Structure 1
């Protein structure tokens, strides 16, 4: 048998194993509300090839490829346990098991590692929490996709309504079409139908009422069966407490803004300060995509090395706020053609750091350049550290942070030497450390952080909503603090 034959036989064997994983993962998700992860990446509703690619990608961050032959025994072990709602990371189980020297069987080790989600320790499945989207633009539609995707177990968050301004003929059909197909993020994974008579979009069985209103004060959500909902404002029209309070109508309990909040509105970056949200807080902000990209690695660097000062330069994709061709704009430079120019503009991300990370005493400055790409940006974080370090030390530290720290859902890590911006379309992390571009010289460190400013940010928004709604389930094995 040739080497090629050996490789193909091995591939087919791994395909067979990955194929057998799919029904187990699906059953755990539907029946027990358990989300199976691999190094923070969900394996729910993934294809055979996607599961294999996710395993192979582990070598980018862990240094060695992870095989389905290694993770399948842990997945089988999960089926024998009395599991409650949780997220369980097969990658972490396999990695920790290799390092464990007690001679436990896979079944014994798995039962111990996820004990907090089993038997008397397991939490009860919660009733679905209603969610309303106010506005249905780029972020709104991606958040909708994520909410629909996560509704598979029938628990957690449930998208009940979308509020938009009245459009012309067949308005709802056009909005459903924008949800169905996206030039950047591809086709919606599932089926979408429209009932114009009842003004309803049905996506993967989820009936979503489309409400037409020009002002929040015109809507009584209880008329549509919405109760105790979290409203996500995607318009950015109102950013202070007074303006956002207009959304606190019958049927709405909390308001989450997908833009930087002003005044005393808390700016929340999931993974960094989400646990500071008070239970009675009704209005909060998810800050900006750039704030979410820089604050987690900034916190990680400050925790380990101390940060005395820093500057962030953002090379940002263009957005709908800019013009296709030169035209009037309230901002001086954003009126110039977005697809034809690099445009220097302001960013509020640096000042927002103080709100999301108040314990950081370092002064952080920032600026931004909009460039002619439709999605994915990069933040160049230039830091003066409190102590000297080597490139290898920072490299290994950030890789470990991406694998095992409480920030592993926010910070990803890539070593591919040929990575470019389009490779990160669809990334669910707040930012991705480009290991090849990392520079360290004594007390100076320069981090290059990719981020999908649309999808990665939308994932952070959904994480915040899950947290404040009480449906964010714990992850096992427990992350080392």
Structure 2
């Protein structure tokens, strides 16, 4: 191809990506349909991101997916008007064009593949959400909830609760939502309503409530009722402490974004989210590390069986460490986080057993905090019941990332140039670095990257939807 041909092909693809954007937005806002391409979400994606998502298909199919093959299927989707589903447009397109040479059979093909999402009737009323605490996870959850605005939105962010209330506090909170040193600028517009003590983000009115204790709040005074309270503070970790939230008028359920203590259900979405029942009022979404490693451990247990193993996490420093040497109640954590690698403990290996009981007593774990602000790496050293080799193991993990029930949790990379900053903003719980895989007979070492902030927040939102009673079809099956 000549230079002109390359440029023309690019411009044609770019124009189609631009034409896809309003269709994708309309499907989400009106029908509750989330469009992906081999797991890459297209909602609110730029034209370049849409094109890059199509190129990811090469990793699984050996060649990229032409956007020209996806566009007619997307138009037909809008005409069929499915509802309440996550639809992988890439998988549909690859499947269709494998057996067809023109567009004449698209509608019938989609009607058959998407039958469970057709004719479902009205979508359920949205659930009010309150973010109790507005730190790293709280602000990322706010971004994720705000990007899901529309008539079909199942979770509606209504308020945040923080301590303080000093002069200038509201503007500071808004500024921290607007600008993030790791995740970049907020995608949209943010205003501050001083008179009503609120932040308005992309049209979402977020009441800012100042309170010292959960039980002091009357949410109904703000028009909030039967709310799901997402506790991001980590102050209360057991059911007794978290039950204080349920004493507030207008509160119905509580989700903890940290490992729960005692008999509380610790949920890793994709692995054991089916344990959530409508009667459950207090749930934990476990930890970022537990969410990253448990899906991979589950697929390994299912296929090879795990005799025992050790998990070493190389974890970015967190807000509970000191920037410079100073007093800290925790061992070693008083030393400067930005100047040292700091050995510490992790409960993630033991916590896996709460979501995956068959691994109880089989795993040990440790952690090293390192001077990076985000993205961590789990090194999983396993002794297996069945032998394997590197090529077979990677092929299995790649297939699990594409077509297993955990395809939203597990990503797979074949890049030889992958580094931690490449995973910032990943919506997967963990990313298998296949180039680092070691496997020989009954022993293997897996390297799993994870955005310990954003990837974890995506898992939390999935648990929130489950607690709110959202049933979203995953198509094509």
- The verdict on a shared fold, with TM-score over 0.5 as the criterion, is yes
Offset at residue 45 of structure 1 (A): 1.6
Distance 1:142 1:13 in 2: 35
- 1:180 maps to 178
Distance 1:430 1:183 in 2: 21
Does residue 284 of structure 1 match 2:264? no
Equivalent residues in 2 for 1:66-465, closer than 5 Å: 66-98=65-97, 105-119=105-119, 122-248=120-246, 249-361=248-360, 363-465=362-464
Distance 1:44 1:19 in 2: 12
Indicate if the aligned counterparts of 1:62 and 1:399 stay in contact, CA closer than 8 A: no
Q: Could you list the per-position Cα deviations for residues 162-203 of structure 1 after superposition, in whole angstroms to 9, with x for gaps in the alignment? A: 000014211011000000000000000111101111101111
- 2:476 maps to 477
* Change over 3 Å in CA distance of 1:376–1:123 after alignment to 2: farther
Offset at residue 107 of structure 1 (A): 2.2
After superposing the two structures, state which structure 1 stretch, 130-139 or 212-221, moved more.
Answer: 212-221
The SS at the match of 1:426 is coil
Distance 2:362 2:259 in 1: 19
Give TM-score scaled by structure 2 length.
0.97
Distance 1:63 1:441 in 2: 27
After superposing the two structures, state which structure 1 stretch, 352-361 or 435-444, moved more.
Answer: 352-361
The SS at the match of 1:401 is helix
The SS at the match of 2:95 is helix
Distance 1:75 1:327 in 2: 57
Offset at residue 217 of structure 1 (A): 1.6
The SS at the match of 2:145 is helix
The SS at the match of 1:236 is coil
Indicate if the aligned counterparts of 2:54 and 2:65 stay in contact, CA closer than 8 A: yes
Distance 1:63 1:299 in 2: 27
- 2:51 maps to 52
After superposing the two structures, state which structure 1 stretch, 122-131 or 449-458, moved more.
Answer: 122-131
Q: Could you list the per-position Cα deviations for residues 410-462 of structure 1 after superposition, in whole angstroms to 9, with x for gaps in the alignment? A: 00011111010000000000000011111111111111000000000000000
Q: Is there any run of 5+ residues in structure 2 with no aligned partner, and where?
A: none
Indicate if the aligned counterparts of 2:30 and 2:152 stay in contact, CA closer than 8 A: no
After superposing the two structures, state which structure 1 stretch, 97-106 or 163-172, moved more.
Answer: 97-106
The SS at the match of 2:72 is helix
Query: Aligned-pair RMSD on alpha carbons?
Result: 1.6
Distance 2:353 2:303 in 1: 19
Distance 2:132 2:194 in 1: 19
Indicate if the aligned counterparts of 1:62 and 1:403 stay in contact, CA closer than 8 A: no
Indicate if the aligned counterparts of 2:338 and 2:372 stay in contact, CA closer than 8 A: yes
* Change over 3 Å in CA distance of 1:98–1:304 after alignment to 2: farther
Offset at residue 84 of structure 1 (A): 2.2
Indicate if the aligned counterparts of 1:85 and 1:123 stay in contact, CA closer than 8 A: no
Offset at residue 225 of structure 1 (A): 1.0
Indicate if the aligned counterparts of 1:133 and 1:234 stay in contact, CA closer than 8 A: yes
Indicate if the aligned counterparts of 1:117 and 1:123 stay in contact, CA closer than 8 A: no
Distance 1:79 1:167 in 2: 46
Q: Could you list the per-position Cα deviations for residues 262-298 of structure 1 after superposition, in whole angstroms to 9, with x for gaps in the alignment? A: 0011100000000111220100100000000000000
Indicate if the aligned counterparts of 2:291 and 2:456 stay in contact, CA closer than 8 A: yes
Offset at residue 102 of structure 1 (A): 12
Indicate if the aligned counterparts of 1:127 and 1:156 stay in contact, CA closer than 8 A: yes
Q: Could you list the per-position Cα deviations for residues 73-107 of structure 1 after superposition, in whole angstroms to 9, with x for gaps in the alignment? A: 21122122142222211012123335558998222
Indicate if the aligned counterparts of 1:133 and 1:163 stay in contact, CA closer than 8 A: yes
After superposing the two structures, state which structure 1 stretch, 442-451 or 65-74, moved more.
Answer: 65-74
Q: Could you list the per-position Cα deviations for residues 347-390 of structure 1 after superposition, in whole angstroms to 9, with x for gaps in the alignment? A: 01011011011133560100000000000000001111111011
The SS at the match of 1:440 is strand
* Change over 3 Å in CA distance of 1:380–1:51 after alignment to 2: same
Indicate if the aligned counterparts of 2:39 and 2:407 stay in contact, CA closer than 8 A: yes
Q: Could you list the per-position Cα deviations for residues 234-272 of structure 1 after superposition, in whole angstroms to 9, with x for gaps in the alignment? A: 000000010000000211111000000000111000000
Distance 2:97 2:357 in 1: 38
Offset at residue 154 of structure 1 (A): 4.9
Offset at residue 61 of structure 1 (A): 4.2
Offset at residue 59 of structure 1 (A): 2.2
Q: Could you list the per-position Cα deviations for residues 15-54 of structure 1 after superposition, in whole angstroms to 9, with x for gaps in the alignment? A: 1111111121122122222221111222112111110011
Q: Is there any run of 5+ residues in structure 1 with no aligned partner, and where?
A: none
After superposing the two structures, state which structure 1 stretch, 29-38 or 333-342, moved more.
Answer: 29-38
The SS at the match of 2:80 is coil
Offset at residue 4 of structure 1 (A): 2.3
